[in-house]
Structure 1
Amino acid sequence: MTTQEQRRRNLRLGLVLAAVVVALYAGFVVFRYSLLGG
């Protein structure tokens, strides 16, 4: 495995993890606002 391939794989993994964190945070914010609004 070359370092460039490994770096690309790490970058993709980081982007996936960041997307999951953002999705969970957005869902939590919407859920909390729905509870406060309701």
Structure 2
Amino acid sequence: MENVIDNIIAFSFDGKHKEIIKSLNFLCHRNIHASYNEQRR
């Protein structure tokens, strides 16, 4: 998982991709929180 995040961060320095990265990060965080909450039940 850290690899993916490192790649996203490195990729985001390219200004063209900043908006894509923002939405990707949002989706990733939302999915992580969702699966985390599922595991806690």
Q: CA deviation at 1:34?
A: 0.3
What does residue 5 of structure 1 align with?
Answer: none
Unpaired runs of 5+ residues, structure 1, are 1-10
> Which protein is bigger by CA-based radius of gyration?
1
- Any gaps of 5 or more consecutive residues in structure 2? 1-14
Q: How many residues align?
A: 28
What CA RMSD, in Å, does the superposition of the two structures yield over aligned residues? 1.6
- TM-score for both structures, normalised by structure 2: 0.59
Q: Which residue of 2 aligns with 1:7?
A: none
TM-score by length of 1: 0.63
2:39 is aligned with what amino acid?
Answer: L
